[in-house]
Structure 1
Amino acid sequence: MDILIELTYAAIVFVAFKVFKIPVTKWTVTTAVVGGIFVVGGIFLCMAYYHPYTPEARIYFQTTPIVPQVHGKTIAVHVQPNTPLKAGDRLFTIDPTPFQAKVDDLTARLNLAERRLKESQTLAKASAGSRYDVEQYQQEVGSLKSELEKARFDLNSTTVLAPTDGWVTQLRLRPGMMAVPLPLRPVMTFVHAESPMLVAAFKQNPLQNIKPGFKSEVIFPAIPGRAFKGVVTKVQAALAEGQLQPSGDLLSVSTEVPEGRVPVFISVTDDMSAFNLPLGSAAAASVYSDRMEPLALIRQVLLRMVSWRNIICFEAI
């Protein structure tokens, strides 16, 4: 597009010299060249400020690392990779034998303690027993009930369920593997069936011309030759480069701190159901402000030219 604008300006200058018989001198030629630099440069500078573009955009999605609440050997995996699941569907099962044994043991001990409690209460009423025995058995019954509740919870936790609607991707868990309740050792990754987020990272310079409600267009390397309409839904209110966490260190301002790009959330309004676009795909986006609207046409043409360029894909051999 920049070449097209430069050629258009050159054609106008050529016609001006030929039709209007402007004499070719060092002053007229210099004026035409310098004027072209200012005109073409001004167009692109204003377009970049009022209708910004970024090649750094991506489809983001929410995932949950699945970590079991109990330790044990996996005996069954009930899901297949990338298969839709409903909330509450079984994901995998840990061997429940030791947990069931714990429940049975505590149940038997609780039954005995409750029987002993009733007997001690009967003896106490008949003044044939000690009040101390009654209180001791009451404490034992309460403690066993708490332990039994925890044991039943662990037993129920041997079957891990889907937290929401979604699917499991990159399933590597197999029967016989040990499942450990450690946050750093998830056994699978669960992808939630929620609307993905398209986030574009813009430079901070044109930020005043990016506001919720402004029109946008998005292109994907995976879909060359197409530009999809969208709208800006949110501009991130805080940047990671400026966050402070509780610590004993004092704030140090350095010139080496990078200038963070601003995440801008864009909702694509065009129907994209006919395209195979994996979550996490890269994208490029432009936002059209309500100022200098005629320059938006140039940005739209440039965006489509970049989209058509995506059809060229060579891999080095």
Structure 2
Amino acid sequence: MDILIELTYAAIVFVAFKVLKIPVTKWTVTTAVVGGIFVVGGIFLCMAYYHPYTPNARIYFQTTPIVPQVRGKTIDVYVKPNTPLKAGDKLFAIDPTPYQARVDEIEAQLRFSQKRLKESQELAAHSAGSRYDVEQYQEEVNQLQGELDKAVFNLNSTVVVAPTDGWVTQLRLRPGMMAVPLPLRPVMTFVHSEDPMLVAAFKQNPLQNIKPDFNAEIIFPAIPGRAFKGKVIKIQEALAEGQLQPSGDLLSVSTHIPEGRVPVFINITDDMSRYNLPLGSAAAVSVYSESMEPLALIRQVLLRMVSWRNIICFEGL
């Protein structure tokens, strides 16, 4: 950004000497150089403080790693990558045979125990049986009922469904693969159909000139030549660099503590529906405060110059 300001000033000086025919003397050259240092430096410093800019912004979105509740071989995958899903739609199914067999086994045991309980109750009612037998069979029925509830839950868990509206991306699960209930080994990643968040990371210096409802402009490398309007929603109340977790260690203040950038949440007010902008795309953001408003125009021009620069892209061969 500072290079663009310097080049703009250099172009003005070139026009003054070549087009306007200002004499080239030691006084005019010295005035142009010293004046450039103060003018360009002053504009850049004031603009960076009152109308901050950051190239460190990104569109963030919420995902959920899908981990099955039970272990088993995958027999069917119902979803297709990047296809919209509703909450409760089937994602994949695990072979239910061992879990169905367990349910059948417990149901048979439960029916037998319920029959024994009924018989013991009838005998006890006619003083031909022991109350102890009734209590024992009642406890057995209650225990089997609990085991049946757990077995039915495991059986139902062989079919995994979508937690919310959304879609699955980069699907790698295939029939025949083992699905294991390990949090570190999710079988797929579910993307929620929620509004993505544009988060810009600003330095702490101009933080007092970034407030909710301040106007902002956003540019994307994926959409060169365009600047989009936005509003500041909120500023992150706490920084990750300062968080403390329960520990037996005392707080140690080091001279090399990283400053940490401040996450600022931006709402894009322009319509972005006609642009192909993947979630996670990078961006650059300018925020315009209510102070030094004339410098905001320079910031807007420079921001658009950076946006047009994004049309130039080279990959190493």
TM-score (norm: length of structure 2): 0.94
Matching residue of 1:4:
8
Is the counterpart of residue 299 in structure 1 residue 299 in structure 2?
Answer: yes
The answer on whether the counterparts of 1:17 and 1:24 sit within 8 Å (CA) in structure 2 is no
| CA displacement at 1:144 relative to structure 2 | 0.5
Is the counterpart of residue 265 in structure 1 residue 269 in structure 2?
Answer: no
Partner AA of 1:218 in structure 2? I
| CA displacement at 1:30 relative to structure 2 | 3.8
Is the counterpart of residue 169 in structure 1 residue 169 in structure 2?
Answer: yes
Report matched runs for 1:72-111 at 5 Å: 72-111=72-111
Q: Distance in 2 between matches of 1:201 and 1:5?
A: 29
Partner AA of 1:301 in structure 2? V
The answer on whether the counterparts of 1:214 and 1:231 sit within 8 Å (CA) in structure 2 is yes
Q: Distance in 1 between matches of 2:230 and 2:180?
A: 44
Q: Distance in 2 between matches of 1:8 and 1:227?
A: 25
| CA displacement at 1:36 relative to structure 2 | 2.8
The answer on whether the counterparts of 2:198 and 2:266 sit within 8 Å (CA) in structure 1 is yes
Partner AA of 1:184 in structure 2? L
Q: Distance in 2 between matches of 1:313 and 1:17?
A: 38
| CA displacement at 1:34 relative to structure 2 | 2.2
Q: Distance in 1 between matches of 2:41 and 2:171?
A: 53
The answer on whether the counterparts of 2:218 and 2:284 sit within 8 Å (CA) in structure 1 is yes
TM-score (norm: length of structure 1): 0.94
Is the counterpart of residue 241 in structure 1 residue 241 in structure 2?
Answer: yes
| CA displacement at 1:24 relative to structure 2 | 5.2
Paired-residue identity, % = 76
Question: Any gaps of 5 or more consecutive residues in structure 1?
Answer: none
Matching residue of 2:114:
114
Q: Distance in 2 between matches of 1:92 and 1:11?
A: 69
The answer on whether the counterparts of 1:13 and 1:32 sit within 8 Å (CA) in structure 2 is no
Question: Any gaps of 5 or more consecutive residues in structure 2?
Answer: none
Matching residue of 2:60:
60
The answer on whether the counterparts of 2:13 and 2:32 sit within 8 Å (CA) in structure 1 is no
Helix, strand or coil: the match of 2:218? strand
| CA displacement at 1:5 relative to structure 2 | 3.1
Helix, strand or coil: the match of 1:171? coil
Q: Distance in 1 between matches of 2:81 and 2:39?
A: 56
Q: CA RMSD in A?
A: 1.9
Helix, strand or coil: the match of 1:238? coil
Matching residue of 1:277:
277
CA offsets, 1:227-285, max 9 Å, x none?
01101101111110000000001111112121111111101111111110111111111
Q: Distance in 2 between matches of 1:314 and 1:13?
A: 35
Is the counterpart of residue 141 in structure 1 residue 132 in structure 2?
Answer: no
Partner AA of 2:72 in structure 1? G
Helix, strand or coil: the match of 2:147? helix
Deviating 4+ runs (over 4 angstroms): 9-18, 23-26
Helix, strand or coil: the match of 2:65? strand
